[in-house]
Amino acid sequence: MTKTITVLPGDGIGPEVTESAVRVLRSVLEKSRIDVRFVEKKIGGAAIDAYGTPLPQETIDQCKNSDALLLGAVGGPKWNEKSMKRRPEQGLLGIRKAMGLFANLRPVETFQALVDASPIKRSFVENVDFVIVRELTGGLYFGRPSERRGPNQEQVVDTLAYSRQEIQRVVEKAFRLAMKRRKKVTSIDKANVLESSRMWREIVDLTAERYPEIAVNHQLVDSAAMQLITNPSQFDVLVTENMFGDILSDEASVITGSLGMMPSASLNADKVGLYEPAHGSAPDIAGQGKANPLATILSAALLLRYSLEMECEASQIERAVHDVLDHGYRTYDLQTAQQNEKTVKTEEMTDRVIDAIDRRAV
Ligand code: NAD
Ligand code: IPM
Ligand code: MN
């Protein structure tokens, strides 16, 4: 059986971290019965440079003919000028929309070896294990109109729009996920101000009636932002709209020690998902071998779990990541000043993960 994984390296550290994840995938897959073909396509700034558009039709067509997608990151100062009508980020939003990837899962778990890499006190970050379910194809990111107005363009409009069905399907995803976990859903909104949040709350309550075993609570986003730091272990599954989920997930990554540790899975109603680190293209460290590849490697594990149904191989990768951290290997973003620490570059961290997989396999 041959499966196709399309790799979209993108910009900045994107090519460095996807190369790492592909090496790890190849190493677990060569021992399996499944034959996987990797096809690389351009997206973001790299696609603007090559084709004049951040999401060429060729890339969309290839993604639609794949079993799973692995993405690095898009964007960078090169494509930031105001005159740029086409931005790399449009490529990412476009592929999410084209593939119908409405649910973005961002797991946040404590890595025991990294509790001191977080600026938050040890007692707060120990035993944290939750997943943010972020709505990904609606809300402010896709609302129309989104434009400048007035004779001198002195007004701007961005629209936060959701249909009932768009909210329902992502909330349902969160409840199903909670059933496989600790059966707790925290829905995050701004229902004291936004009409969209009031509909969101109504749908969460209706869904909750069908899941009597699940404990449900609502939190306002401002207070939730505070509680993510002061009491993160209370959470199991968080579900929230697109923009809130974007902001809260970067905040939550601080618990794990670095944004470079947070993977993500963007899912639709089928099996074809897009897997990418939650971080961006990190232009400040691109090309220096300083990128932490673990978020992308952990995203590759999610790819095996959700799109290829290879739970065993997915856990192998996750255990290997824990192993290398336990052995003291750290990229530059993860310094904790512990005695056994060894600072390594992107490539060596990847080698260590592959070694750890091989050691466990024998
Ligand atoms: P960023 O996530 O790229 O970087 C924020 C900080 O975290 C930087 O200091 C960076 O060096 C560090 N960092 C991020 N990932 C790291 C890793 N794997 N290892 C070590 N350090 C890491 O956010 P930004 O600087 O605000 O944005 C840069 C560009 O990336 C922008 O163009 C933005 O639009 C884009 N972006 C893309 C994605 C994506 O493609 N999914 C996500 C976020 C931002
Ligand atoms: C993310 C990123 C993207 C988002 C940007 C680059 C469009 O920040 O994946 O979190 O806001 O969704
Ligand atoms: Mn983001």
The yes-or-no answer on residue 222 being catalytic is yes
Q: Is 246 in the pocket of ligand 2 (CB under 6 A)?
A: yes
* 114 falls within a domain: no
Reported as a single tens digit per residue, the pLDDT across 218-269 is 999 999 999 999 999 999 999 999 999 999 999 999 999 999 999 999 999 9
The yes-or-no answer on residue 355 being catalytic is no
Instruction: Kindly name the residue from 11, 41, 42, 141 that is annotated as catalytic.
Output: 141
Q: What is the full per-residue pLDDT of the chain (362 aa) written as tens digits?
A: 799 999 999 999 999 999 999 999 999 999 898 999 999 999 999 999 999 999 999 999 999 999 999 999 999 999 997 667 899 999 999 999 999 999 999 999 999 999 999 999 999 999 999 999 999 999 999 999 999 999 999 999 999 999 999 999 999 999 999 999 999 999 999 999 999 999 999 999 999 999 999 999 999 999 999 999 999 999 999 999 999 999 999 999 999 999 999 999 999 999 899 999 999 999 999 999 999 999 999 999 999 999 999 999 999 999 999 999 999 999 999 987 777 899 999 999 999 999 999 987 75
Residues 247 and 302 in one domain: no
Closest CA to ligand 2's atom 11: 246
* Alpha carbon distance 240, 103 (integer Å): 10
The yes-or-no answer on residue 270 being catalytic is no
Closest atom of ligand 2 to CA, residue 249: 10
Residue 147 burial class via C-beta count within 10 angstroms: exposed 0-12, middle 13-18, buried 19 and up = exposed
Residue 172 has which token pair?
């349902």
Instruction: Kindly name the residue from 189, 190, 275, 329 that is annotated as catalytic.
Output: 190
Query: How many domains does the chain contain in total?
Result: 2
Residue 264 has which token pair?
């993500």
Looking at 241, 256, 271, the residue that finishes a domain is 256
Sheet holding 2-10, edge to edge: 35-40, 2-10, 68-73, 274-275, 265-267, 103-109, 129-135, 237-240, 184-189, 215-220
Residues 297 and 356 in one domain: yes
CATH number of the CATH domain containing 223: 3.40.718.10
Reported as a single tens digit per residue, the pLDDT across 288-301 is 999 999 999 999 99
* Alpha carbon distance 132, 239 (integer Å): 6
Residues 128 and 222 in one domain: yes
Instruction: Kindly name the residue from 67, 246, 323, 333 that is annotated as catalytic.
Output: 246
Is 282 assigned to a binding site?
yes
* 249 falls within a domain: yes
Residues 243 and 275 in one domain: no
Residues 80 and 162 in one domain: no
Residue 260 has which token pair?
């470079």
* 320 falls within a domain: yes
Q: Is 278 in the pocket of ligand 2 (CB under 6 A)?
A: yes
In the DSSP assignment, the letter for residue 187 is E
* Alpha carbon distance 128, 236 (integer Å): 9
Residues 164 and 124 in one domain: yes
Residues 227 and 328 in one domain: no
Q: Is 110 in the pocket of ligand 1 (CB under 6 A)?
A: no
Residues 195 and 243 in one domain: yes
Residues 125 and 233 in one domain: yes
* 112 falls within a domain: no
The yes-or-no answer on residue 49 being catalytic is no
Q: State how far Cα 160 lies from the chain centre.
A: 22
Residues 129 and 239 in one domain: yes
* 352 falls within a domain: yes
Cα–ligand 3 centroid distance for 154 (angstroms) = 28
Looking at 224, 241, 256, the residue that finishes a domain is 256
* Alpha carbon distance 326, 328 (integer Å): 5
* 354 falls within a domain: yes
ipTM of the complex: 0.98
Looking at 256, 276, 304, the residue that finishes a domain is 256
Residues with Cβ within 8 Å of residue 151, at least 6 apart in sequence: none
Statement: the pTM of the whole predicted model exceeds 0.90: yes
Taking CA atoms, 180 is separated from 185, 215, 241, 253, 350, in Å, by 12, 13, 22, 23, 30
User: Counting ligands in written order, which one lies closest to the CA of residue 11?
Assistant: 1
Residues 290 and 345 in one domain: yes
Residue of 299, 324, 301 whose CA lies nearest to 312: 301
Instruction: 197-205: list long-range contacts, CB under 8 Å, 24+ apart.
Output: 197/241, 199/162, 199/164, 199/167, 200/162, 200/167, 200/171, 200/241, 203/164, 203/167, 203/168, 203/171, 204/171, 204/239
Q: Is 259 in the pocket of ligand 1 (CB under 6 A)?
A: yes
**Ion ligand 3: residue ranges with CB closer than 5 A:** 246
Residue of 191, 141, 137, 140 whose CA lies nearest to 169: 137
Residue 358 has which token pair?
């091989």
Residues 50 and 136 in one domain: no
Q: The domain containing residue 231 runs over which residues?
A: 119-256
Residue 191 has which token pair?
């229902």
Q: State the pLDDT at residue 1.
A: 78
Residue of 318, 352, 153, 334 whose CA lies nearest to 253: 334
